[in-house]
A and B are shown apart, each in its own frame.
Chain A
Amino acid sequence: MAKSLGPVKRKFSPWTDPAATPFIRFENITKRYGDFVAVDNLTLDIYEREFFSLLGPSGCGKTTLMRMLAGFEEPTEGRILLQGKDLSGTPPYKRPTNMMFQSYALFPHMTVEKNIAFGLEQDGLPKADIQARVEEMLRLVKLENFAKRKPAQLSGGQRQRVALARSLAKRPKVLLLDEPLGALDRKLREETQFELMDIQHTLGLTFLIVTHDQEEAMTVSDRIAVMDKGIVVQVATPAEIYEAPNSRYVAEFIGDINILECALVENAGECVHPGHPPVVHLESDGLKIAVEQECAAVVGDRVAFAIRPEKVRISLDQPPETGSNLAHGEVWDIGYLGDFSVFLVRLEDGRTIRAAQANVSRLVDRPITFGDMVWLSWPLDGGLVLTR
């Protein structure tokens, strides 16, 4: 999959190194509640210092997976290895993982300071060391002046910071974050996302985050596992997930995308650009589509063509392309998002394609408006063929 994107430079990518040993390994994990299968024979490797996201809709098993790593649930089948050590049967209070709870779960009868010190006290550290670590944590989350407050006297954002400080205080090998930013408003959430990345980088810890918010996952993660009904559909970097989803499910779950049902016409292997994959020809109800992509499907297969709206060009004049990757239709609706405008274009056969255009100049009246007949076009590497 990654090949279609061409060579990508990465500073941190242990998952591409076959010699690297995974830090956490979920090995054939199945979790059943009665008849309900929450996690279905799932295998997943996470590497040291990775910021890893489990992304999926509610009920996809992502939280169950995290809770099994924390020790609150035991897998029905399979095992979880941390640094090669089987965690089966180890109770949560003996695991080197710490969790930041969705509800924060701060102890309401303890001050901020006491909350942060709680885990350290369990380890029986000397008082002076605990004090020093608590102060360090308070500095890290910028709550030095709130040490003596009770959780009820804090704002939502401050509580979230206390929860983070508490879960980091013990320097866990793995920090688990369960929908950590769900309760925060958008601005604060974005700020905190960057702070989280900063903290993770500074402390050099492995972070595993559970979220249903694709933007959050895209922003913070080194890699994302997209989950659906207890299985992992795709594990890849945010860019790969967005640009090269391996299935309709992933394509539709992440971002906005046009999907056209197609028949595969030709998969001859003709190379247009040197170094790029060969071209696959598709046809979708009279619409001819050409895609540069390695594709296992054969002539006659029903496949889907997927293309992100921002990769579809929209113009009033006919573009120079001829034959393939060209559609003509009427502007049906326009969504003005400030930075982008999304045009909903209705083709002659009634299908609609969304095209997004960056609003690069400060015009209030756009040249393209409702009812205009427009041309849509896209390059050979704009979209992709999905076989499942």
Chain B
Amino acid sequence: MAETGATSQNNPWRWLVVGVPYLWLLVFFTAPFLIIFKISLSDTAIAMPPYTPTFEGFGAIGDFLSQLDVENYLFLTEDPLYINAYLSSLRMALISTGLLLLIGYPMALAMARAPSTIRPTLLMMVILPFWTSFLIRVYAWIGILKPEGLLTLLLQSIGLFGPDQQVQIFRTDYAVFIGIVYSYLPFMVLPLYSALEKMDNTLLEAASDLGCPPWKAFWKITFPLSLPGVIAGSMICFIPITGEFVIPDLLGGAETLMIGKTLWTEFFGNRDWPLASAVAVLLLLALVVPIVIFQNQQQKVR
């Protein structure tokens, strides 16, 4: 083992293989981020592009740098709209992640405990929604949730709702939660399933043998051992939900406050690119903390 390790260390191909993704990230993540960061320090202008200053070559670099400032960031702290949008996004993401765990964990557990012959089918069914475009699936929810939609029709036809009653959840936070939980469920179920599926069933037999009834064994054995999956699934869902734009835009109402929507409004509604960039930079920083926690956890598992 040590020998093969040593040879692969000196193998130039190794550096190529490692280098390509890093180069990719440098070009397509770091560079755009730096551009956004620069714009966030600029001022709005009625121009093309809609901000000033613009980089005019190294001769005027001193002048260029002197025009950059942090006033956009200061503005963000002054207007409660932005702080509220951040907090509201984090709250939405937290609640959604909690709901996803509550729904996804039993699903993943049932899949992992299912006979091994039907497990691939169950797995396939979880992945199946990806065969349709994400956008179309969210649109489909409009058809279900709108006041004269399928849900109303169903409730009316089984007699729970009178003919003049309608489901009033479209364009509310509830619709956003439904959309988010539906869209992100596979991202929660898959890491949980992979953690639970690996688990040795004799551990539960051992617990039972030592006098631990099944419901207690779940909390003492199954759940602690699935924690890496719980954390992975939660992070994979929590991080993008915080910045989610499409679902709150399509299903949410006017009162749905999420940072992704705010960002969109600033960029395309107000054409305030510098302020929007500042919002984006802060969003990224807000998410770096959970990402670091996630990375640490992954390292611990290894």
Contact = CB atoms under 8 A, between A and B. Distances in A.
A118 B203 contact: no
B206 interface: yes
Contacts of A170: 210-211
Given A101-B205, A103-B200, A107-B203, A93 B221 contact: no
Give the interface residue-count category, chain A: 20 to 34
A99 B220 CA distance: 19
Given A101-B202, A103-B200, A119 B224 contact: no
Given A107-B221, A108-B225, A109-B224, A122 B205 contact: no
Contacts of B220: 118
Contacts of B208: 71-72, 91-93
B207 interface: yes
A105 B203 contact: yes
Contact of B211 (A70, A105, A107, A119): A119
Interface centre among B202, B210, B225 (most CB of A within 10 A): B210
A70 B96 CA distance: 43
A118 B219 CA distance: 13
A98 interface: yes
Contacts, number: 62
Contacts of B225: 108-109
B205 A105 contact: yes
Interface in B170-228: 200, 202-203, 205-213, 216, 220-221, 224-225
A123 interface: yes
A72 B212 CA distance: 13
Given A108-B225, A109-B225, A103 B202 contact: yes
A385 B58 CA distance: 106
A118 B210 contact: yes
Contacts of B209: 70-72, 92-93, 97-99, 167
Contacts of B210: 93, 98, 118-119, 122, 166-167, 170
A373 B210 CA distance: 63
A289 B50 CA distance: 112
B200 A122 contact: no
A118 B212 contact: yes
Given A105-B200, A108-B225, A72 B211 contact: no
A94 B200 CA distance: 22
B207 to A, nearest CB: 7
Interface string A107-122: 1110000000011001
Interface string A61-105: 000000000111000000000000000000111100111010101
Given A107-B221, A108-B225, A109-B224, A122 B212 contact: yes
B203 A93 contact: no
Contact of A105 (B202, B212, B213): B202
B11 to A, nearest CB: 30
Contacts of B213: 91, 93
B256 to A, nearest CB: 40
A106 B206 CA distance: 8
A74 B212 CA distance: 19
Contacts of B216: 122
B88 to A, nearest CB: 36
B82 to A, nearest CB: 42
B206 A99 contact: yes
Nearest to B216: A122
Contacts of A106: 206
Nearest to A95: B209
A274 to B, nearest CB: 55
A108 B209 CA distance: 17
Interface in B8-41: none
Contacts of A99: 205-206, 209
Nearest to B224: A109
B302 to A, nearest CB: 12
Nearest to A97: B209
Contacts of A92: 205, 208-209
Nearest to A176: B209
24 contacts: A71-B209, A91-B208, A92-B205, A93-B208, A93-B212, A93-B213, A99-B205, A99-B209, A101-B205, A103-B200, A103-B202, A105-B200, A105-B202, A105-B203, A105-B206, A107-B221, A108-B225, A109-B225, A118-B207, A118-B210, A118-B212, A122-B212, A123-B211, A170-B211
Interface of B: 200, 202-203, 205-213, 216, 220-221, 224-225
Given A93-B208, A105-B203, 4 more contacts: A107-B221, A108-B225, A119-B211, A122-B216
